[in-house]
C-alpha cells in the first residue's frame, strides 16, 4: 500500500525539473553511481587529507607520550598482578594442583635430558651419555628415518657445534626443541584429525590458530613467565604456542585431501571410521604430516632461541649476551650454530618426508622386499653400534667430555670481528648514507605523522583506513584493538612501532614485487632464487640481528634491516606464485594482441594476482612486525624495547607486559585489515 501511495504522490507532484534527454543520465544519478563505485578510494583520500590537516594544525598535542621510567595506573596494576601471582604460588589451588605440576613435570623432563646428554649430574663430572655417544645416537636415528646423506649432514653439524665451543648450549637447544615438538605432535595430530573430520571443530578452532600465528613471539613471553616462572617450562610452553598452529593446519589439510574415491571404496567395503583413519587417511597423508612436523620444528627452533629472554636454555643465551655487549664475532659464531641446526633439522625432516612418500608407493615384489629387508638389517647393526658408543662414552672421559681442540670458534669470532671492523671502517660512508637517507626520507616523516598526531585523530585515521580497505569487519576489529592499545597507556610507543613496521613492510613489498614478478615470469630465475629464499626462511629471526648490528650499529634502522631480511622470502614467494597462477589463456590472448612485457605485468598479471600480492603484504607485515619488536634488543626502540626492559628491570615488568599486550593488539589489527582486504580483492 505504501508503495502505491508513494507512486500516486510522485505522480501528483508538479514537473519542476526539465525532462532528461533520451540517452543521457541526470548529473545527480551520475554522481551517486560514481560515489557508489568509488567510495573506498574517496574515503581513503578524505582520511589522508583530514589526517594531514590535523597533523599540521595540532602536531605534538595530545600524543599520550610517556617517559621511559614513567608508569600509568595500568602498569602499576600489572606489577601488583605479578606480585599476586608470586604470592599465589604457595597458597592457590590452581597453582598447586594444575600449574605447578605442569611446571615441575616439564622442568623435570628437561633436567633429566640435560643430565643425560648435556650437563653433568650430581656426582659425575660429565653427562651420563658423552659427546661420542650423542653423535653416534643422533646419526643412527637420522639414518633410520631419513637416510645416509642426512646422517652425514647431522654428524658433521653436531661435531661443528662442539668445535665452535657451544656443545652444551647446542644440545640444550635440541632438547628444548625436541620436547616442544614432541608435545606439539601429541596435541596437534589429534586436533588436526578432529578438524579434518568435523567442519564445526574446524570453524571453532581456526580463529584460535589464526590468533596464535598472528601474535608476535615477544607477546607470549611476559604472561607465560608470569604463570610458569622463569626457566625451561615457560620457554617450552611459549615454544608450543608458537609451533603448534603449522602442525595442526597441515595435518588437517593432509587428512582432508585424501581422495574421496578411495574413502568411498573403503566405506563401501564396510570399513569403520576408525579403520578408515588408521588404514587409509593417515598412511596416505603421511608425507604431508611430516611436512607439518618440519614446519613445527622450524618454528620451535626459532622460538627456543628467543626464549633466552626468560632464561630458556640453549644457544639463545650466548647470542643474547653477545648482542647486549655488541660482540659481533661471538654473536656470529653462536648465530652460525643456530643456522646449522636449522639447516640440519630442515633437511632431515624433509628427507624423512620424501622417504615416507617413497615407502608408501613401494609395490610388493621380490626386489621391493629385499631392499627394505637389507635396510632393516643395517638399522639393527647401527643400533648395536650406537649402544656400544653410548656405553663407551659413559665410562671413558675422553669420549664423554668434548675435546677442546680443534677450536674453530675463537679464531672464527676474531676473524669475523676483524672483517666487520674493516667493512664498517671502509664503507662507513655508504652504510651511513643509506641509514641516514631512509631514516630522513621515510622513517622520521612517517613516525612524525603517526606519533605526533593527536591520539584521537590517529584513531580516526586507522579506523577510516580499515573501513576503506577491509570493510566493516576490519573496522570493528580496529576499534577493539585501538581500545586495547589505549588501555595499555602505550599509544605513542605503539605508533612509533607502527611507523617502523610500515617502512620495513614498504621496502619488503617493493623488493618482493620486483623479484617475485621476475620469478613468476621466468622458470629458470625461479629455480635459482627459490632455494635461496627457502634457505633464508630456515634461519631463526634472532640470527638476522647479527649482520644488521654489524653494519649499522644499535639503531632503529638496524631493526628495519633485520625485519626486511626476515620478511622478504615469504612475500617474494607469494608474489611469484600469484604471477604464475594467472591463467595461461589470458596471457596468450594478451600476447596475441601485441602486449609488451611491461603492459603484460602492469595491465594483466599484477591486476589478476592482486589478492596474492595483498596476501604477500599481509605475511610480510606480520613477519616484519615480529622482527621489529625483536629489534628492541639492538636499539629498535618502541614496544620491543619496553618488553626487554620489563624482563631486565623488575619495576618495569608491568610496563613490559602492557607493551606485549599492545604488540598483540597491533598485530591483530594489521592482520585483520590486510586479510579482509585480500579476501575482498579475491572475491572481486
**Cα within 13 Å of Cα(515), Cβ side:** 21
Whether residue 452 has pLDDT greater than 80: yes
Q: How many other C-beta atoms are found inside a 10 Å radius of the C-beta of residue 20?
A: 11
Decide: 567 and 623 in contact? Cβ < 8 Å: yes
Whether residue 659 has pLDDT greater than 60: yes
Confidence at residue 641, expressed as pLDDT on a 0 to 100 scale: 85
Coil, strand or helix at 529: helix
**Cα within 13 Å of Cα(432), Cβ side:** 7
pLDDT tens digits along 174-189: 999 999 999 999 999 9
Whether residue 164 has pLDDT greater than 90: yes
Confidence at residue 31, expressed as pLDDT on a 0 to 100 scale: 61
DSSP 280: I
Whether residue 132 has pLDDT greater than 90: yes
Confidence at residue 6, expressed as pLDDT on a 0 to 100 scale: 47
Whether residue 192 has pLDDT greater than 80: yes
Secondary-structure class of domain 430-683 per CATH: mainly alpha
Share above pLDDT 70 across residues of the chain, in percent, rounded to a whole number: 92
Share above pLDDT 90 across residues of the chain, in percent, rounded to a whole number: 23
Decide: 134 and 117 in contact? Cβ < 8 Å: yes
Handedness of CA 192, 198, 202, 205 (dihedral sign): negative
Confidence at residue 288, expressed as pLDDT on a 0 to 100 scale: 80
DSSP 126: S
Q: Predicted confidence band at 2 (pLDDT cuts at 50, 70, 90)?
A: very low
Closest CA to 666 of 472, 462, 504, 401: 462
Residue 431: is the preceding peptide bond cis (ω within 30°)? no
pLDDT tens digits along 291-337: 888 888 888 888 877 888 888 888 888 888 888 787 888 888 988 89
Cα 385 from Cα 133, distance rounded (Å): 10
Return the C-alpha cell found at 205.
Answer: 578452532
Confidence at residue 653, expressed as pLDDT on a 0 to 100 scale: 86
Q: What is the mean pLDDT of residues 518-540?
A: 85
Confidence at residue 362, expressed as pLDDT on a 0 to 100 scale: 53
Report how far Cα 392 is from the mean position of its chain's Cα atoms.
Answer: 42
Whether residue 290 has pLDDT greater than 90: no
Decide: 669 and 459 in contact? Cβ < 8 Å: no
Confidence at residue 357, expressed as pLDDT on a 0 to 100 scale: 63
Element (H, E) at 347: helix 328-361
Q: What is the mean pLDDT of residues 54-72?
A: 87
Cα 382 from Cα 135, distance rounded (Å): 13
Confidence at residue 487, expressed as pLDDT on a 0 to 100 scale: 92
Window from 22-31, 35-44, 226-235, 636-645 with minimum mean pLDDT:
22-31
At 490, give phi and psi (nearest 5°): -125, 40
Query: What pTM was estimated for this model as a whole?
Result: 0.79
Cα 450 from Cα 85, distance rounded (Å): 36
Cα 132 from Cα 391, distance rounded (Å): 10
pLDDT tens digits along 384-416: 999 999 999 998 888 989 998 888 989 999 998
Q: What is the mean pLDDT of residues 38-50?
A: 85
Cα 105 from Cα 121, distance rounded (Å): 18
Closest CA to 617 of 554, 575, 581, 558: 575
Long-range contacts of 639-646 (CB under 8 A, 24+ apart): 639/490, 639/493, 639/494, 639/497, 639/663, 639/666, 640/218, 640/497, 640/559, 642/490, 642/493, 643/218, 643/221, 643/222, 644/309, 646/222
- The larger pLDDT score, comparing residue 67 to residue 486, is at 486
Confidence at residue 122, expressed as pLDDT on a 0 to 100 scale: 83
Whether residue 355 has pLDDT greater than 60: yes
Within the chain, all domains assigned CATH 1.10.3720.10 are found at 175-314, 430-683
Closest CA to 646 of 630, 660, 627, 629: 660
Whether residue 34 has pLDDT greater than 70: no
Which superfamily, per CATH, for 175-314?
MetI-like (1.10.3720.10)
Confidence at residue 645, expressed as pLDDT on a 0 to 100 scale: 83
At 365, give phi and psi (nearest 5°): 160, 170
Give the chain's mean pLDDT: 84
Q: What is the mean pLDDT of residues 627-633?
A: 79
Confidence at residue 28, expressed as pLDDT on a 0 to 100 scale: 63
Confidence at residue 11, expressed as pLDDT on a 0 to 100 scale: 45
Closest CA to 409 of 327, 529, 288: 327
Window from 53-57, 141-145, 430-434, 643-647 with minimum mean pLDDT:
643-647
Window from 82-96, 364-378, 446-460 with minimum mean pLDDT:
364-378
Confidence at residue 138, expressed as pLDDT on a 0 to 100 scale: 94
Amino acid at each position: 500500500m505504501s508503495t502505491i501511495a508513494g507512486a500516486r504522490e510522485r505522480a501528483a507532484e508538479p514537473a519542476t525539473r526539465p525532462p532528461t534527454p533520451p540517452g543521457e543520465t541526470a548529473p545527480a544519478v551520475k554522481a551517486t553511481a560514481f560515489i557508489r563505485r568509488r567510495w573506498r578510494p574517496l574515503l581513503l583520500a578524505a582520511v589522508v587529507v583530514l589526517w594531514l590537516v590535523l597533523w599540521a594544525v595540532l602536531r605534538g598535542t595530545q600524543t599520550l607520550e610517556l617517559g621511559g621510567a614513567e608508569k600509568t595506573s595500568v602498569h602499576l596494576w600489572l606489577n601488583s598482578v605479578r606480585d599476586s601471582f608470586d604470592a599465589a604460588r604457595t597458597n592457590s589451588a590452581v597453582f598447586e594442583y594444575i600449574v605447578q605440576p605442569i611446571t615441575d613435570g616439564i622442568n623435570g623432563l628437561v633436567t633429566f635430558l640435560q643430565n643425560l646428554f648435556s650437563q653433568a649430574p650430581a656426582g659425575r663430572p660429565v653427562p651420563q651419555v658423552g659427546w661420542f655417544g650423542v653423535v653416534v645416537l643422533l646419526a643412527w636415528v637420522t639414518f633410520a628415518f631419513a637416510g645416509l646423506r642426512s646422517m652425514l649432514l647431522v654428524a658433521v653439524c653436531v661435531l661443528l657445534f662442539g668445535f665452535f665451543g657451544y656443545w652444551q648450549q647446542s644440545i640444550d637447544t635440541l632438547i628444548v626443541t625436541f620436547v616442544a615438538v614432541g608435545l606439539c605432535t601429541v596435541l596437534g595430530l589429534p586436533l588436526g584429525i578432529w578438524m579434518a573430520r568435523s567442519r564445526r571443530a574446524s570453524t571453532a578452532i581456526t580463529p584460535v590458530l589464526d590468533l596464535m600465528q598472528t601474535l608476535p613471539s615477544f607477546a607470549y613471553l611476559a604472561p607465560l613467565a608470569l604463570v610458569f616462572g622463569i626457566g625451561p617450562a615457560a620457554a617450552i610452553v611459549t615454544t608450543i604456542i608458537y609451533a603448534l598452529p603449522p602442525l595442526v593446519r597441515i595435518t588437517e589439510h593432509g587428512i582432508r585431501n585424501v581422495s574421496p574415491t578411495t574413502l568411498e571404496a573403503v566405506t563401501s567395503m564396510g570399513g569403520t571410521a576408525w579403520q578408515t583413519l588408521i588404514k587409509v587417511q593417515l598412511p596416505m597423508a603421511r608425507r604431508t604430516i611430516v611436512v607439518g612436523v618440519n614446519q613445527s620444528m622450524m618454528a620451535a627452533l626459532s622460538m627456543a632461541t628467543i626464549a633466552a629472554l626468560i632464561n630458556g636454555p640453549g644457544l639463545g643465551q650466548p647470542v643474547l649476551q653477545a648482542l647486549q655487549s655488541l660482540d659481533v664475532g661471538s654473536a656470529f659464531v653462536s648465530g652460525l650454530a643456530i643456522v646449522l641446526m636449522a639447516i640440519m633439522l630442515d633437511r632431515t625432516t624433509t628427507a624423512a618426508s620424501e622417504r615416507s612418500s617413497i615407502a608408501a608407493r613401494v609395490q610388493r615384489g621380490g626386489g621391493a622386499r629385499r631392499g627394505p629387508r637389507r635396510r632393516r638389517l643395517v638399522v639393527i647393526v647401527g643400533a648395536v653400534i650406537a649402544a656400544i658408543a653410548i656405553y663407551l662414552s659413559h665410562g671413558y672421559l675422553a669420549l664423554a667430555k668434548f675435546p677442546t681442540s680443534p677450536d674453530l670458534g675463537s679464531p672464527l669470532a676474531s676473524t669475523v670481528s676483524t672483517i666487520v671492523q674493516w667493512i664498517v671502517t671502509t664503507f662507513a660512508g655508504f652504510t651511513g648514507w643509506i641509514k641516514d637517507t631512509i631514516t630522513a626520507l621515510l622513517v622520521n616523516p612517517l613516525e612524525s605523522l603517526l606519533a605526533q598526531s593527536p591520539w584521537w585523530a590517529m584513531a580516526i585515521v586507522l579506523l577510516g583506513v580499515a573501513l576503506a580497505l577491509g570493510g566493516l569487519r576490519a573496522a570493528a576489529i580496529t576499534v577493539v584493538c585501538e581500545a586495547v592499545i589505549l588501555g595499555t597507556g602505550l599509544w605513542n610507543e605503539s605508533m612509533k612501532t607502527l611507523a617502523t613496521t610500515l617502512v620495513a613492510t614498504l621496502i619488503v613489498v617493493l623488493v618482493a614485487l620486483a623479484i617475485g614478478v621476475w620469478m613468476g615470469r621466468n622458470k629458470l630465475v625461479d629455480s635459482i632464487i627459490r632455494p635461496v629464499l627457502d634457505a633464508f626462511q630456515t634461519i631463526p629471526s634472532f640470527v638476522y640481528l647479527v649482520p644488521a648490528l654489524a653494519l649499522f650499529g644499535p639503531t632503529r634502522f638496524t631493526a628495519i634491516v633485520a625485519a626486511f631480511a626476515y620478511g622478504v622470502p615469504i612475500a617474494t614467494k607469494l608474489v611469484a606464485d600469484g604471477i604464475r597462477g594467472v591463467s595461461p589463456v589470458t596471457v596468450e590472448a594478451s600476447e596475441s594482441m601485441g602486449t609488451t612485457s611491461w603492459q603484460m605485468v602492469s595491465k594483466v598479471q599484477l591486476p589478476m594476482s592482486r589478492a596474492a600480492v595483498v596476501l604477500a603484504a599481509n605475511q610480510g607485515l606480520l613477519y616484519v612486525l615480529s622482527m621489529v619488536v625483536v629489534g628492541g634488543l639492538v636499539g629498535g626502540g618502541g614496544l620491543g624495547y619496553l618488553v626487554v626492559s620489563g624482563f631486565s628491570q623488575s619495576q618495569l615488568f608491568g610496563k613490559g607486559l602492557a607493551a606485549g599486550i599492545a604488540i598483540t593488539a597491533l598485530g591483530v589489527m594489521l592482520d585483520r585489515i590486510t586479510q579482509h582486504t585480500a579476501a575482498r580483492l579475491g572475491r572481486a
